[in-house]
Amino acid sequence: MAHTLFADVFGEHLDANFHRGPAGVIDGGQKGDQFADMDGLAEHHLVDRQGDDIFAGIAAGAGVGDLIEELENGAAMDVAGKIGHVRRHQDGHAELVVGKRHGVIARRVVSHVTALFRRIGAARWHDCAVFMQEFDPMNRSFASLRNPRTIALVGKYHSMEIAESLRGLAEYLYERGVSVFIERETSEHIGKKVDLSRWVTCGFNDIGAHADLAIVLGGDGTMLNAARRLARYCVPLVGVNQGRLGFMTDIARDDLLTCMDDLLDGRFAQENRMLLAAEVTRDGKEIAENLALNDVVVDKGAIGRMIEFELFIDGEFIYNLRSDGLIVATPTGSTAYSMSAGGPILHPTTAGIALVPLCPHALTNRPIIVNDSADIELRIANADDARVHFDGQVTLDLQRGDCVRLRRSEHAICFLHPPGYSYFAMLRQKLQWSERPKGT
């Protein structure tokens, strides 16, 4: 039963990310350096830790036979089937054939496998069921969250105000024994004011492959960009507010190092946020796809005339709408453009998506909330100039007949908050609820 759970939940993630191409081989007669075929995978993740890490033991030369002896045969074969496949020779020697790394994703996937086996250690395989209760495809709760060894810093590119905070944070993390990466554009811009040359500079793909978490210094716009870029890699995010409201960047600059102490010591609140997956088709062909943490907005372009479109939910026609546009917002985005347009605030745990018309011609067209499992489709019926926006940061021009299809993404964003974090306390502060007017 336990190994079935592993196959259904974790194996699916492996299958989705490994390319079954030319193989690199791990067997009992070779050492971990065979992972050179997988771009040096062993050097960062697969380290034999006093025999506790079974998968690392294989990489270091223990061989698949030891894995089979350690675990129940059925479960071991299932693991082998998901990671690669077992090749048995006539003399009984076994080797595990692993597909080459597909982009940078596979490195992180294999690190997750390593984390799994490290947690299991010498225990019997049936204990995996307990571990798997902590693991959810939409809730990447790995041991690395409690002991982050590699942290990436992402800053608001054109804000020199964050320079000293970013450098001070990098130095603090280094003193705590943490490897620090600085996102490339952050380093290029902020590096003009402070010296960041001692830190490793890399792009979002490498951050996704290597980092245990990413700390974002800036406002909600900076967080939105980082979230979309890192969503596929399941990298948890921590927000430090260097902007204005900062609904998603909740750590104040003055509290930065105190909160980092809590974070590195494993004291934090974890919160998962859904994303929207969007696909735009024209004449039956896909022309664009993107993710959105806040919202996807279809609206009028530069001409300023109303647009007309049809709304379908799960294939059912809902209405024909003439308006300035429509906001499709996640619970996270319900406190952004949607709220300004009169939409409802959705708690992050709400399994819903808000559809908020922008200045509808018919006043009876009101905001509605649909289940987050719904397939939403917008068909442009009449528009001389229409556009679709993803989190207000990526824009695409639309034509008559284009379709924008939206659904809940298979990816999710994990936010880490300081101890004592409360969503409603955050709203109360940001929106100034219950405050008496000045002078009263």
Query: Which tens digit of pLDDT belongs to each residue from 389-409?
Result: 999 999 999 999 999 999 999
- The catalytic residues are 220
* Helix and strand numbers, DSSP H then E, in the chain: 15, 21
**Residue 64, pLDDT score:** 36
Q: Do domains 145-268+418-430 and 274-410 have the same CATH topology?
A: no
Distance of CA 190 to the CA centre of its chain: 25
Q: Residue 48's pLDDT is what?
A: 28
What confidence tens digit (pLDDT) does each residue in 319-377 have?
999 999 999 999 999 999 999 999 999 999 999 999 999 999 988 899 999 999 999 99
Cross-strand pairs, 136: 139
Task: For residue 360, give both structure tokens.
Answer: 């509808």
Q: Is the Cβ–Cβ distance between 207 and 152 less than 8 Å?
A: yes
Strand partners of residue 323: 307
Strands 150-155 and 23-27, bridge-based pairing: unpaired
- Map residue 416 onto helix, strand or coil: strand
In angstroms, the CA 431 to CA 420 distance is 19
- The tokens for 371 are 């289940």
CA dist., res. 115 & res. 70, Å (int)? 17
Burial readout 184-212 (b: 16 or more C-beta within 10 A, e: otherwise): ebbbebbbeebebeebebbebebbbbbbb
Q: What is the pLDDT of residue 74?
A: 36
- Token digits of residue 280: 């735009």
Alpha-carbon distance 296 to 177, whole Å?
A: 40
Residues of the chain falling short of pLDDT 70: 1-147, 243, 436-440
pLDDT of residue 19: 31
Tell me the two tokens of residue 140.
Answer: 């990447």
Q: Which residues pair with 237 in a beta bridge?
A: 214, 415
DSSP 146-214: TS--EEEEEE-TT-GGGHHHHHHHHHHHHHTT-EEEEEHHHHHHHTTTS--TTSEEE-HHHHHHH-SEE
The CATH homologous superfamily to which domain 145-268+418-430 belongs is: Probable inorganic polyphosphate/atp-NAD kinase; domain 1 (3.40.50.10330)
Task: Give the pLDDT of residue 303.
Answer: 81
274-410 belongs to CATH 2.60.200.30: yes
Q: In what order do the strands lie in the sheet with 386-390?
A: 368-371, 352-358, 325-329, 295-300, 386-390, 394-398
Domain residue ranges of the chain, discontinuous segments joined by +: 2-135, 145-268+418-430, 274-410
**Can you give the pTM of this predicted structure?**
0.68
> Whole-angstrom Cα distance, residue 21 to residue 174?
38
Distance between CA 148 and CA 180 in Å, rounded?
Answer: 11
pLDDT, position 145: 61
Query: What is the residue type of 354?
Result: A
Both tokens of 19, joined, read 């390319």
